Chains A and B, each alone.
Chain A
Amino acid sequence: MMKEERIKFLISRYQQGVFALVLYLIGGDQDKTYDICASSFAEAMRACSSPEREGIFLAKVIGIAVEKARAIKTIPVFKELEFLDLPASEQGPLRLLIKAFWKLAFDDKALVLLREQLNLSYRQIAAVMRKTESDTRSEVNQARTRLREIIEDTLKYE
């Protein structure tokens, strides 16, 4: 069982990253994101006995959250970017990026987010996604390329 102080520390450290990960994976539904993240954290805490093993904890939280998000079928609804903690002036260009991002396949989204946003190493991503490290490396690059292609297409019609 983990100590409460340690739990609070881990929550504060990783809540934003995991919340953002799930939010973009399931297409911007904040309520579902909230539920998925909260239960993922709770399950991961139950599974991790030692508070010192932060790496295991993070891998477990992300692994559970990704699987839960994968199981949920949602259609991305493009609402106001009320969930972004950025000034309105910076939100404009991101609107296009998010729109393009939601057109990516689930695994592509997960790979790009784990690498670019949570800054995980390829080994950690490989562990979470249950792939080999070299596959992960190339798939992350392919996902980035696909995202750029989608952005390119989106720009054409904007």
Chain B
Amino acid sequence: MTCDDIKARLTPFLDDLLIEAEYKAYCDHLNACEQCREHVRSIGSLSNQLWKLGKVRVPEDFGSTILYKFSHFEQMIQSSRVILSAKHVMIGLTLMLLGITASSAIHYFRNRQPPPKEEDVPIVRAQIVGPRHPPSDEEARILMRQLEVIAAGVGMLSKVMSVEGTPQETAAKENITDEGIPMEKESPVQENEIIDFQVIPLHWHFQYPEETNEAALDAKRQRIKQQKELAQTKLDEIESTIRLLEEEKEKNQIKLGQPYSQELKETKLARERQIELGLQQWAEGIRQQNAVIGQLEESNRQLEFNRQERLKEGKQKETAHRTKISNILNISGIMPDYKNDHLFVFSSSGEKLKDVRDQILFASQGTSSFHDYANGEAVLPDREYRISMFFDDKGNSSFHWHINAIRPEQKSNLLRLIEEKSASIDYKSEELLIFSVPNTELQKLLIRIQAAGVHILRYGSQEIKKDISQSRLISISVYFAK
């Protein structure tokens, strides 16, 4: 590997994407070349310090300014709405007045009666000054009609006035989950929905980096395949040339008993020598092409081997990380309720949880990225929490669903449905259910559950990746709120 190669492959080297042989060659060169070593170190260390850019000093009054702006902004919005929507208000009022006038006119013409007689007047007066009598059916109908007209006017007005819609409407329009991620079409999140969990569920996701770069590997495989095809084509060409030469050689042979002239004999012998030479050269060509094909096949094997090795290394790192976390839980006196290769479920008080979280974060540095869903940092010391820790890699996806308060018969129906579709139920308690379902069955299951009128809030990986096996099992944990 030359100094130019070192510069050209700097990015894959820093991103740890080189295959084992390249990586070794790269390191060998770095060990030998002081200049390259310094170059790689300076760039690598600089680009790995990006996180330090986040350590900026925020002015102390920043928080109070936001709060001021927020309250001031509300007032401004309200006043600007009043000013900006004056036109809309006018339209609304006109509509309302028109409605009221129209309905009053109809009322007047329908119920026009002769003027009251003289003797009726005191009774009418008494009715006016006395307590109000309940309206007659006809009066109530008219009143309702008037109210409907007014309400329609107000409704139109409010639609005109609310340019952006309520925040809930906006969120629903954008289809954003609690993780701030747009999600595919699913049962809508109910507005102002409050889930009352006796034990508050939290979700922590650990995502391991991919140990192999499949795209780069595919490109290499493709390149090797093309080279192999090229070599095979050359080999075929050589073989056909050899066949032609052999045919010519046979024709060119001096046959016994034939009256050849001396000149012809010499020409034939000269040609035979040429053919022999050609055959030898082409035979060498065949050996070379076979060697090339062999090397390419070996590279392919090496590529696959390296991939497997890297995957194995990655798995070992993941296993070591999970063991560390398991040890932290054990030392803290927390026994997992449920544990498999991709999921730990445990319960803890908020007080203990904070310590455990810090320790786990420390132990995870450099191994995996940590995602804390559902306000894990805002734990209250006096509450009970149930934590699901998902260990996600490329080969594994975990979802978690929250199901709000449902009737017991609905719950039993739901469980039956899940049992029908799922391959196995891993854990089952009053509040938590963990099951695995084949990738192919998941969408069908979701449709059936939604058709049964059960409302699910979905978290975690939302879509099934196309590049993963359709038959792979997906682990889903369901929380039932009471």
Contacts and interface: CB of A to CB of B under 8 A. Distances in A.
Interface residues of B, number: 53
Contact of A39 (B11, B69, B207, B369): B69
A100 B43 CA distance: 11
B20 to A, nearest CB: 22
Nearest to B57: A85
Contacts of A56: 171, 176, 178, 180
A113 interface: yes
Interface string B178-202: 1111100000000010000000000
Contact of A46 (B45, B77, B178, B207): B77
Interface of A: 4, 7-9, 11-13, 15-17, 19-20, 23-24, 34, 37-39, 41-43, 45-50, 52-60, 82-86, 90, 93-94, 96-98, 100-101, 112-113, 116-119, 121, 123-124, 126-127, 141, 144-145, 147-148, 151-152, 155
Contact of A97 (B39, B49, B62, B77): B49
A144 B46 CA distance: 12
Interface string B118-147: 000000000000000000000000000000
Nearest to A6: B378
Contacts, number: 166
A83 B57 contact: yes
B377 interface: yes
Interface in B32-84: 39, 42-43, 45-47, 49-59, 62-63, 65-67, 69-70, 73-74, 77
Contacts of B181: 55, 59, 121, 123-124, 126-127
Given A23-B56, A56-B180, A113-B50, 15 more contacts: A13-B377, A42-B66, A50-B167, A55-B177, A55-B181, A83-B56, A85-B56, A101-B53, A112-B50, A116-B50, A147-B47, A148-B10, A151-B46, A155-B39, A155-B42
28 contacts: A15-B66, A20-B56, A34-B59, A34-B62, A38-B69, A39-B69, A41-B66, A41-B70, A42-B69, A46-B73, A47-B170, A49-B167, A49-B192, A52-B178, A52-B375, A53-B171, A54-B375, A55-B178, A86-B55, A100-B46, A113-B50, A116-B51, A117-B53, A127-B181, A141-B15, A145-B11, A151-B47, A152-B7
Interface of B: 7, 10-11, 14-15, 39, 42-43, 45-47, 49-59, 62-63, 65-67, 69-70, 73-74, 77, 164, 166-168, 170-171, 176-182, 192, 207, 369, 371, 373, 375, 377-378
**Ordered nearest first, which 4 A-B pairs have the shortest CB separation?**
A59-B180, A55-B180, A42-B69, A49-B167
Nearest to A156: B39
